[in-house]
Structure 1
Amino acid sequence: MTESNVTETKIEGLTADTLRKALLLASPELSRFDPLRRIICHDAFSKGHCGWSQLVGNYEGSLDSMLPGYAQHTNAMLSTLGHWEAGSHGGYDSSYALKIATRPVRGAQNVAIKRLTMRQRAPIRFEMYFTFKPEATEPRLSETDVRSVGFLFDLQGGDSDKDAERVMPHLRFLNAADGQHLQKWQFKRETTTFTKLGAENKTESHYHLSNEGWQDLPGGNQRLCYNEIATKVNWSYLRFDFDLAKMRPIAFQCNDRTFDLSQFDSIRIPAMKNLWCMLNFGLFAETDVDKRAFLYVDSICISGDF
């Protein structure tokens, strides 16, 4: 048997799962993630916005009918993580990251969203490398200037599902409030009251990211890396697994910690008439002072077990 035949025999003997893992490990960009069987999207923001855009609120007749929470939002940017000391920090392994920046007003929020639809009701995995910091406008640590950063899903079953509902898992890292360094993960079960917009009775809106209604995740205290001055950053890893068939969470991890989700639940509201098979993902930041807060995301991998 020739050497080439031996090599062919070894390759033929490998399982599909082994080959898949080998290909993932051979990719510097993908090997930092642990995706499920099928990669839905891999967003490396060195390539561009990758479909992440401003969360624009509903309106009818005029932009002035938009709820104030949404009216404050601006579009996500591509950033080199510039600062006044040394120029640019750069991304995880490139020059750019996605930047979600608030306005410089205490309590201001901003949200970026990626809008997809689901092809199968199966477990999915959301992974990202992220960091956060306040705008470095003064030579001090400013570790309590960012109130929170987080992510959300906005999901709805298919138009043939008799029990379809709109399900919105929310998780945030509450870094600080009123100057107190809290550093804990929280989730949300309830949204705000729906408001009718316009005169045609076709559009309504709710601001589900309001600061009310957040609950502490059991055992959710975590001290994330925040470097010695406000211009420095360190990247953190996050993973959230969710079952689209059962509409329930499976697992949550940030860096070296995994968290108990037995008390976790999502915002649940009746299905809406035009959002079938919705599979949306959101990223958000909030400031606790009159200074901009920045959430930076280097890359995201969303995968599914189908």
Structure 2
Amino acid sequence: MRRAIREADPQLSRFDPLPRIICLDDFDRGMCGWTQLVGNYEHSLDAMLPGYAQHSHAMLSTLPNWDFGSHGGVDGSYALKIATRPKTGAQNVAIKRLTFRKAGPIRLETYFTFKPEATELQLSETDIRSFGFLYDLQVGDQHGTGGNRVMPHLRFLNAENGVHLQKWQFKRETTPIKPIGTAGKTMTHYHLAPTDWEDLPGGEQRLCYNEIPTKVNWHYLRFDFDLATMQATRFQVNDRVFDMSTYDCIRIPAMKNLWCMLNIGFFAETDTDKRAFAYLDSVCLSGDF
């Protein structure tokens, strides 16, 4: 019965969710709880690390362009747009902040695309440096000593310094953790620093990138993770399922005010002095609990 109901709903049947739908975000309905990744600070915004200070809020977009008006989403008018600043290496992140009620399997699915800002009459396929996503997770407060904050990251390194690379990478290291302010309540680190990315074995993939600067094609992405073991179990993009046997995450000691945290985020990075745009048509987060 559950499968029949799901397959009868066009919004849901494009996904393969686990039994419990945690959130089903179609951005034709609005922002759906997605917001800017703001860095930690105390007393002054100047205390924020520069990596976070560059971020701005995601926005709803019809994917407008100069030649045929608006592209729209997969089946509606709007997508969530994540736009960087027009400076080489600039990043931006959209995040949704949740908590979990049981440490079990979860599945993140989305339809995404990316393009640089179409300011030239040429393809510009190497102007986007990367598109990626992350979880920010922490065990529950009854876990006891030795619990971790775990941060799975994956990015599609499209190009670097103008060289078309097209491969998936992951991250096991973050920057040093620093205290913020004087109250002893807040820490910070920039986990999206450009260093310490590693190639996912067999992670080379050529994504559809249409022939003029304003056309886009939507891609399907799925990432499965087990909150009980804090291990990734499956990663798929379009028709490719990748080997995750050597994949691992950023793991740092649990922080005292982040129990049962379940944050999900998507990010974009530009390789030129031109804005990079990442778009999410819809996002489904599901679990088996």
Which residue of structure 1 lines up, in the alignment, with residue 239 of structure 2? 256
Which residue of structure 2 lines up, in the alignment, with residue 216 of structure 1? 199
Runs of 4+ in 1 over 6 A off after TM superposition: none
Select the residue among 12, 15, 28 that pairs with 1:33: 15
Select the residue among 211, 236, 239 that pairs with 2:219: 236
Which residue of structure 2 lines up, in the alignment, with residue 50 of structure 1? 32
Counterpart code for 1:54: Q
Structure 2: any 5+ residue segments left out of the alignment? none
- How many angstroms apart in 2 are the aligned matches of 1:20 and 1:256? 25
Which residue of structure 2 lines up, in the alignment, with residue 169 of structure 1? 152
Counterpart code for 2:19: R
Please list, as runs of the form range in 1=range in 2, the aligned pairs for 1:201-212 lying within 5 A after superposition. Answer: 201-212=184-195
Does 2:85 match 1:128?
no
Counterpart code for 1:183: Q
Select the residue among 50, 56, 68 that pairs with 1:74: 56
Counterpart code for 1:305: D
Structure 1: any 5+ residue segments left out of the alignment? 1-18
**More displaced, 141-150 or 161-170?**
161-170
Aligned residue for 2:191, secondary structure, equals coil
Instruction: Provide, for residues 230-266 of structure 1, a one-character-per-residue CA deviation record: whole Å limited to 9, x for no partner.
Output: 1000000000000000000000000000000001000
- How many angstroms apart in 1 are the aligned matches of 2:25 and 2:10? 14
Please list, as runs of the form range in 1=range in 2, the aligned pairs for 1:149-168 lying within 5 A after superposition. Answer: 149-162=131-144, 163-168=146-151
- How many angstroms apart in 2 are the aligned matches of 1:230 and 1:65? 39
- How many angstroms apart in 1 are the aligned matches of 2:212 and 2:4? 40
Aligned residue for 2:10, secondary structure, equals coil
- How many angstroms apart in 2 are the aligned matches of 1:57 and 1:290? 24
State TM-score, norm by structure 1.
0.93
The number of residue pairs the alignment matches comes to: 288
Structure 1 residue 201: Cα displacement: 2.8
Which residue of structure 2 lines up, in the alignment, with residue 294 of structure 1? 277
Which residue of structure 1 lines up, in the alignment, with residue 263 of structure 2? 280
Structure 1 residue 196: Cα displacement: 2.0
- How many angstroms apart in 1 are the aligned matches of 2:64 and 2:266? 21
- How many angstroms apart in 2 are the aligned matches of 1:203 and 1:20? 43
- How many angstroms apart in 2 are the aligned matches of 1:302 and 1:83? 30
Bigger radius of gyration: 1
Supply the RMSD in Å over aligned alpha carbons.
0.6
Does 2:175 match 1:192?
yes
- How many angstroms apart in 2 are the aligned matches of 1:216 and 1:156? 25
Counterpart code for 2:168: W
Identity of aligned residues (%): 71
